[in-house]
């Protein structure tokens, strides 16, 4: 468990007390502290629920409101198993000979003991609430040292001392603090960070830095009755240098392009920490307040810095605060494809994560104008793999921090819809066909994931028309079976011999409307179900190829030209020697495609070729590589677009010129189950 995993709740209390005299700058100080503690990059506290203020300051903050607010905040923190961060700023004194701090509310009077706030008592109460992970408190008043709770009494409380406290006090119980200098300096320290202090600043780090800068003699009291072994932290360190560069090539390029038009108005400074990025943002915001410099270039620069800050914040969240298992490179790639619809960069590890979040923040087209929707989709995809719900506290805190609360909920909803649509799969096999003839029987399975829902054989006339006509009865049967599961059937795998795959377009079969209008059709090579003896272990070899493809180029396609296709024996020998890794794609459609297709399918997981005669246009080749991460499903979408004769310049127009036979681990699993008779009630042979 990392120290940043528990959620962090915040309450800042800064009342003006007319009876003691108004404190200059109290409201501004409280607002600055509140803002820095709510900053996800720094204080890491979550916003409070709607209608529940986390900042109480000014002339109308009475003793009763303070007392109830602390109690309620402790109860919420206990229910969420959160850290409670609480601050008391303002006037403080002691009554009589007692060293206890009397915190002055707006309705307090120094000579009326019942009108003052017992800070120590409230902290004792909060510490004893079951579920509260830690209480981190700041008291900046005169006689602040009197805020120490009854540590001895906690041993006899509800939690029997199993509690944790870090209490920073600007002065001792007999000293005065002046002008809120302690809090002002603390805010500055948190914003600027500390060199060589690590990713997180402990209360002791903060105390020593503030005392050194403000020449104060603050007090620090700590208690760790929970014995969790995790160091309490006050804030994230704005100057922490990650192992890799803060910004990747994409982030650096976009930042340079954004700042160049501003020229000397923005001094050059290296961006190596999140604190540097925050200081740059403040510099730009100061310029924005002057009408002479408020133009589109400045607005673009501010927007770029904000998006880079979101990228940095998200990267840190995933690396240090992610409530699931730390995502590895392959999961990051899959999530990026889900969010961006295209392959991720070729980098790995932390650099891959950095490049992905920067791309999602800066370059991926915005969904319906929302700049955070792609990033939310990325995080939701990672969360679904970890089994995390949309309401997981760490996720919601991150989403609110970047202004993507609704986008995250939408992303989870989209994930659920896709999962429901992809659960069911209808497999129709023509593997009983002999040579290049059409079969007399269609073997059919309906699968829910790996679970068999139904199994049936359908007799049919051994012609293309007979098979296509019989598909209507197959779908009627499958639809009835699907209704019992509560999910809709959208995916059909059609397995056929190479000779039929070369000439048949099952998605164009007319069953009233074309079959492919309502279903995604994926073509499979049926020989993998009944492997001839001479093909041996090609299914096992194919699994190895798929693993190598995942670790290889983003679009692992080998484009074969006329010369390679004309020397068939040499090509087959090279394939058998492992000279071609990945998919095989034909730039030219041979006259006798069916004779070439079978040896290619035996050695390559995927084979692609032109739909028509002649050469495949370069635009179609480029479209295959751009859309590789979304294939083979994107082929079905492209065919649908082409039938409707929409914009000829559409991306799908180029992709629709390509035919394919596909292999993936899901199909190999089915082939294995078929061989073991586990998807059929009897021997399939």
- Per-residue confidence band for 2, with pLDDT thresholds at 50, 70 and 90: very low
Helices and strands in the chain, H and E counts: 24, 24
Q: What is the pLDDT of residues 261-315, one digit of tens each?
A: 888 777 766 787 777 888 888 888 888 766 555 578 888 999 999 999 999 989 9
**Overall average pLDDT of the 140-159 stretch:** 85
Q: Are 363 and 299 in contact (CB under 8 A)?
A: no
DSSP string spanning 29-82? Answer: HHHHHHHHHH-TTTT-PPPPPTT--SEEEETT--HHHHHHHHHHHHHHHHHTT-
**pLDDT above 90 (res 363):** no
Longest dimension (CA), the chain: 105
pLDDT tens digit sequence for 650-667 = 678 899 999 999 999 999
Neighbour count for residue 618 (Cβ, 10 Å): 10
The alpha helices in 459-612, defined as continuous H runs, are: 464-485, 498-501, 538-551, 562-566, 568-576, 593-603
Q: How confident is the model at residue 4 (pLDDT cuts 50, 70, 90)?
A: very low
b/e burial code for range 626-635 (CB count within 10 A of at least 16 → b): bbbbbbbbbb
Read off the DSSP letter of residue 604. -
User: What pLDDT is attached to residue 435?
Assistant: 67
Confidence grade of residue 416 (pLDDT, cut at 50, 70, 90): confident
Residue 597 has pLDDT above 70, yes or no: yes
Confidence of residue 685 (pLDDT cuts 50, 70, 90): very low
Query: For the purposes of burial, counting CB atoms within 10 Å of the CB of 598, is it exposed (0-12), middle (13-18) or buried (19 or more)?
Result: middle
Give tens-digit pLDDT for 312-346. Answer: 989 988 987 888 888 888 889 889 988 887 778 77
Q: Count of CB atoms within 10 A of residue 41's CB?
A: 22
Q: Answer yes or no: is pLDDT of 394 > 60.
A: yes
Instruction: Name the residue with higher pLDDT: 629 or 60.
Output: 60
Domains (ranges, CATH) in the chain? 8-236 (3.40.50.1460), 249-421 (no CATH), 531-684 (no CATH)
Output 509 or 645, whichever has higher pLDDT.
509
**In 289-440, beta strands by DSSP E:** 424-429
For residues 573 and 317, what is the distance between their CA atoms, to the nearest angstrom?
50
Residue 179: the pLDDT is 79
When comparing pLDDT for 228 and 404, which is higher?
404
**Measured between alpha carbons, how far is residue 294 from residues 265, 278, 442 in Å?**
12, 19, 70
Evaluate if pTM is beyond 0.75: no
């Amino acid at each position: 468990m990392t120290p940043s995993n528990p959620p962090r709740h915040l309450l800042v209390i800064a009342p003006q007390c007319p009876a003691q005299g108004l404190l200059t700058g109290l409201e501004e100080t409280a607002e600055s502290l509140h803002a820095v503690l709510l900053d996800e990059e720094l204080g890491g506290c979550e916003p409070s629920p709607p209608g529940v203020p986390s900042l109480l300051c000014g002339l109308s903050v009475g003793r009763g409101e303070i007392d109830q607010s602390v109690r309620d905040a402790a109860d919420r923190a206990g229910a969420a198993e959160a850290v409670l961060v609480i601050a008391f700023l303002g006037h403080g004194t002691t009554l009589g000979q007692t060293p206890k701090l009397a915190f002055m509310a707006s309705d307090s009077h120094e000579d009326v003991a019942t009108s003052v706030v017992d800070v120590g008592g409230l902290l004792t109460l909060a510490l004893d609430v079951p579920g509260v992970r830690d209480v981190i408190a700041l008291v900046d008043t005169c006689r602040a040292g009197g805020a120490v709770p009854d540590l001895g009494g906690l041993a006899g409380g509800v939690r029997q001392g199993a509690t944790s406290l870090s209490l920073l006090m600007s002065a001792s119980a007999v000293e005065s603090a002046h002008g809120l200098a302690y809090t002002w300096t603390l805010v500055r320290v948190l914003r600027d960070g500390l060199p060589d202090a690590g990713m997180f600043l402990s209360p002791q780090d903060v105390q020593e830095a503030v005392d050194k800068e403000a020449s104060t003699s603050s007090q620090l009291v700590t208690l760790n009755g929970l014995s969790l072994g995790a160091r309490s932290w006050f804030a994230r360190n704005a100057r922490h240098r990650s192992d890799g560069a803060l910004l990747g090539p994409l982030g650096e390029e976009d930042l340079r392009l954004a700042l160049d038009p501003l020229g000397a108005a923005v001094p050059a400074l290296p961006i190596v920490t999140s604190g540097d990025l925050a200081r740059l943002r403040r510099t730009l915001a100061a310029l924005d307040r002057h009408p002479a410099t408020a133009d589109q270039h400045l607005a673009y620069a501010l927007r770029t810095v904000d998006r880079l800050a979101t990228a940095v914040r998200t990267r840190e969240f995933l690396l240090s605060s992610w409530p699931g298992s730390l995502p590895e490179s392959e999961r990051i790639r899959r999530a990026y494809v889900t969010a961006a619809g295209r392959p991720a960069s070729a980098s790995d590890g932390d650099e891959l994560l950095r490049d992905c979040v920067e791309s999602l923040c800066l370059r991926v087209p915005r969904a319906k104008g929302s700049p955070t929707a792609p990033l939310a989709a990325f995080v939701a995809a990672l969360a679904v793999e970890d089994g995390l719900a949309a309401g997981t506290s760490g996720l919601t805190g991150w989403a609110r921090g970047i202004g993507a609360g609704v986008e995250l909920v939408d992303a989870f909803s989209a994930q659920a819809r896709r999962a429901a649509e992809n659960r069911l799969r209808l497999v129709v096999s023509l593997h009983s066909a002999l040579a290049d003839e059409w079969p007399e029987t269609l073997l059919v399975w309906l699968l829910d994931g790996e679970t068999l829902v139904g199994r049936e054989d359908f007799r049919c006339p051994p012609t293309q028309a007979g098979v296509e006509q019989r598909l209507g009865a197959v779908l009627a049967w499958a639809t009835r079976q699907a209704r019992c599961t509560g999910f809709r059937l959208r995916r059909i795998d059609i397995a056929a011999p190479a000779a039929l795959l070369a000439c048949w377009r099952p998605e164009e079969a007319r069953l009233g409307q074309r079959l492919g209008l309502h279903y995604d059709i994926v073509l499979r090579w049926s020989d993998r179900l009944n492997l001839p003896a001479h093909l041996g272990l090609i299914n096992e070899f194919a699994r190895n190829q798929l693993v190598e493809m995942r670790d290889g180029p983003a679009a692992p396609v080998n484009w074969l030209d006329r010369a390679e296709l004309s020397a068939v024996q040499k090509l087959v020998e090279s394939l058998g020697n492992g000279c071609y890794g990945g998919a095989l794609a034909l730039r030219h459609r041979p006259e006798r495609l069916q004779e070439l297709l079978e040896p290619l399918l035996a050695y390559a997981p995927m084979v692609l070729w032109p739909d028509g005669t002649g050469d495949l246009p370069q635009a179609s080749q480029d479209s295959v590589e751009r859309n590789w991460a979304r294939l083979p499903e994107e082929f079905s979408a492209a065919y649908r677009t082409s039938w409707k004769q929409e914009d000829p310049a559409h991306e799908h127009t180029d992709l629709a010129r390509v035919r394919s036979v596909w292999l993936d681990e899901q199909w190999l699993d089915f082939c294995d189950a078929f061989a073991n008779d586990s998807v059929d009630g009897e021997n399939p042979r």
